[in-house]
């Protein structure tokens, strides 16, 4: 019998496991893959994410960590460089590296990590989740955290399906060797297509992570759009087939709390499983790390309380409080993006008004003030 079983060792799961193990709890993390493993992502870490990494005790300097100064927004013939607010620091790091660092950090904190072990079903009794069934056996715990990503089979098995009234994104990324791999600004092309944008993130290791994101899943083939966009970029980026490292890979972005509730008796949802991707930016790592921390805080308090269930029921409100502004603004923003005329106008006008864009970056990105 464990105190907590964490399903999935992505940012949400490893963050929760680290914070829980540090407070002395017995934590089992079950991960279906083994590290290092690839995860389709833009690999961009905002100052929000860097703050969470610090709270996990992760050292974010040295080989592999590439510091960024801010974002460069492009639209029409305009471009605008916006430094991170308050001199904040951003980073890029491949997810193959980042997720292994986070998982090993959880183990160092005292959690037990079982790799190559897939959770196949929840164990339920008396209307409560009491553990999980895995490919290698059953495991019981006082609580379970579903941190198993966008498709979250565990949540689906508990009857929690994504809400249809929340935006869902689809994004694809590819790595290219590039002479501009050490660009210190995250470049974002705003007017790539209706409700879509493109990104170029320097990895500082000789490559760039290049990708496109769209709001709807019924968008025309993103492979084609990405190729067309790349062909239109200045040759100085070097995004040719010869410089490509691996294929374009895509995945879903569950946004704006698309799966709820975030607590059912015995189980808490953290990260993509609970649709915790910011609708206006597609950023999900910092929200996953944060939800893992909040879940750990609530669980630690609940285990010390004479009324644990009462405390656990407060977890959804804690997650909501942390993100209500950027997520509500983001949902409104995504509705506006669906209108190509409005989108063009906003891009054109916005890029001509740096103070407005600075405020938008801070508010929509939920960045520390
Ligand atoms: C193309 C793309 C680009 C993106 N770019 C960015 C970006 O630049 N910056 C940013 O902040 N966010 C970005 N995101 C979003 C970000 O990748 C996610 O929000 C983030 O990974 C969520 O973390 P998580 O821990 O909730 O889930 P995940 O990272 O998906 O981790 C889930 C883990 O659970 C494991 N798992 C799943 N099922 C089971 C099971 N049954 N049993 C055991 N283990 C299981 C998986 O193997 C995985 O390790 C991007 C997303 C996409 C698709």
pLDDT of residue 369: 63
Given this model, what pLDDT does residue 172 score? 93
- What confidence tier does 77 reach under pLDDT thresholds 50, 70, 90? confident
The alpha carbon of 299 and the centre of ligand 1 are apart by a number of angstroms equal to 22
Q: Residue 75: inside a domain, yes or no?
A: no
Predicted confidence (pLDDT) per residue in 311-352, tens digit: 999 999 999 999 888 888 877 777 776 777 777 777 777 787
HSE of 23, CA atoms in CB hemisphere, 13 A: 18
* Ligand 1 neighbour 253 (Cβ under 6 A): yes
Q: Which of 97, 103, 101 is nearest to 116 (CA)?
A: 103
Whole-angstrom Cα distance, residue 187 to residue 200? 5
* Domain span at 328: 2-45+95-162+255-335
Nearest CA to ligand 1 atom 52: 41
CATH code assigned at 123: 3.50.50.60
In DSSP notation, 131-160 reads EEEETTEEEEEEEEEE---TT-HHHHHTT-
Omega of the bond leading into 326 within 30 degrees of 0 (cis):
no
pLDDT tens readout for residues 23-70 = 999 999 999 999 999 999 999 999 999 999 999 999 999 999 999 999
Ligand 1 in contact with 33 (CB < 6 A)?
Answer: yes
Number of domains in the chain: 1
Decide if 132 is inside a domain: yes
| Residue 304 falls inside a structural domain | yes
Residues 6+ apart with CB under 8 A from 92: 43, 44, 45, 66, 68, 186, 201, 202, 203, 204, 209
Per-residue confidence (pLDDT) for residue 219, from 0 to 100: 59
Structural domain contains residue 142 = yes
Q: Summarize pLDDT for 126-152 with one digit per residue, the tens.
A: 999 999 999 899 999 999 999 999 999
In this predicted structure, the answer to whether residue 180 has a pLDDT above a threshold of 90 is: yes
171 CB within 6 A, ligand 1: yes
> What is the position in ligand 1's atom list of the atom closest to the CA of 39?
29
Give the distance (Å) from ligand 1 centre to CA of residue 288: 9
Q: What is the pLDDT of residues 157-173, one digit of tens each?
A: 999 988 877 778 889 99
For the record, the structure tokens of 339 come out as 């209108």
What is the 184 CA–ligand 1 centroid distance (Å)? Answer: 24
pLDDT tens, residue by residue, 250-298: 999 998 888 999 999 999 999 999 999 998 889 999 999 999 999 999 9
In a domain, 365, yes or no: no
272 lines ligand 1 (CB under 6 A): yes
For residues 63 and 97, is the Cβ–Cβ distance under 8 A? no
DSSP string, 307-368: -HHHHHTTHHHHHHHHHHHHHHHHHHHHHHHTSHHHHHHHHHHHHT-HHHHHHHHHHHTT--
**In this structure, is the dihedral angle defined by the CA atoms of residues 50, 51, 52 and 53, taken in order, positive or negative?**
positive
Specify if 352 maps to a domain: no
Structure tokens at 147: 């941190």
Residue 10 domain flag: yes
Q: What is the whole-number distance in angstroms between the Cα of residue 146 and the centre of ligand 1?
A: 12
Show the tokens assigned to 239: 């995004």
* CB-based burial label for 263 (10 Å; 0-12, 13-18, 19+): buried
**307 CA to centre of ligand 1 in angstroms:** 33
Assigned token pair, 176:
């290219």
Ligand 1 atom at minimal distance to the Cα of residue 273: 26
Q: Is the CB of 144 under 6 A from ligand 1?
A: no
Distance 150 CA to ligand 1 centre (A): 7
124 inside domain: yes
216 burial type by CB count under 10 A (0-12 exposed, 13-18 middle, 19+ buried): middle
The C-alpha angle with vertex 160 and arms to 154 and 164, in degrees rounded to 5, equals: 130
What confidence tens digit (pLDDT) does each residue in 186-245 have? 999 988 877 788 999 999 999 999 999 988 756 567 888 899 999 999 999 999 999 999
């Amino acid at each position: 019998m464990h105190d907590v079983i964490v399903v999935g060792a992505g940012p949400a799961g490893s963050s929760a496991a680290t914070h829980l193990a540090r407070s002395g709890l017995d934590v089992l993390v079950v991960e279906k893959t083994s590290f290092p493993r690839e995860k389709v992502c833009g690999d961009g870490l905002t100052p929000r994410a860097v703050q969470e990494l610090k709270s996990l005790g992760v050292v974010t300097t040295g080989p592999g960590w590439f510091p960024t100064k801010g974002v460069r927004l492009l639209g029409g013939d305009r471009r605008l460089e916006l430094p991170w607010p308050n001199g904040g620091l951003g980073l890029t790091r491949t997810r193959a590296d980042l997720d292994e660092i986070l998982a090993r950090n959880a183990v160092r904190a005292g959690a037990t990590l079982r790799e190559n072990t897939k959770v196949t079903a929840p164990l339920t009794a008396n209307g409560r989740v009491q553990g999980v069934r895995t490919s290698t056996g059953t495991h019981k715990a006082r609580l379970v955290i579903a941190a198993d990503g966008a498709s979250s089979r565990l949540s689906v098995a508990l009857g929690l399906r994504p809400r249809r009234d929340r935006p869902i994104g689809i994004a694809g990324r590819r790595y290219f060797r590039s002479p501009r791999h050490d660009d210190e600004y995250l470049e974002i092309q705003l007017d790539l297509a209706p409700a879509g944008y493109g990104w170029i993130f320097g990895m500082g290791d000789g490559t760039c992570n290049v990708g496109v994101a769209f709001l709807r899943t019924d968008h025309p083939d993103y492979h084609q759009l990405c190729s067309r966009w790349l062909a239109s970029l200045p040759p100085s980026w070097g995004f040719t087939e010869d410089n490509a490292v691996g294929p374009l890979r895509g995945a879903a972005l569950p946004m704006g709390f698309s799966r709820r509730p975030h607590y059912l008796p015995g189980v808490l949802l953290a990260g993509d499983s609970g649709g915790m991707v910011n609708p206006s930016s597609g950023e999900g790592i910092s929200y996953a790390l944060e939800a893992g921390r909040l879940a750990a805080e609530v669980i630690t308090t609940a285990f010390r309380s004479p009324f644990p269930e009462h405390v656990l029921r407060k977890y959804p409100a804690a997650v909501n409080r942390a993100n209500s502004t950027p997520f509500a603004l983001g949902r409104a923003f995504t509705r506006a993006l669906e209108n190509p005329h409005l989108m063009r106008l906003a891009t054109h006008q916005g890029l001509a008004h740096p103070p407005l864009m600075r405020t938008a970056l801070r508010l929509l990105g939920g960045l520390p003030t």
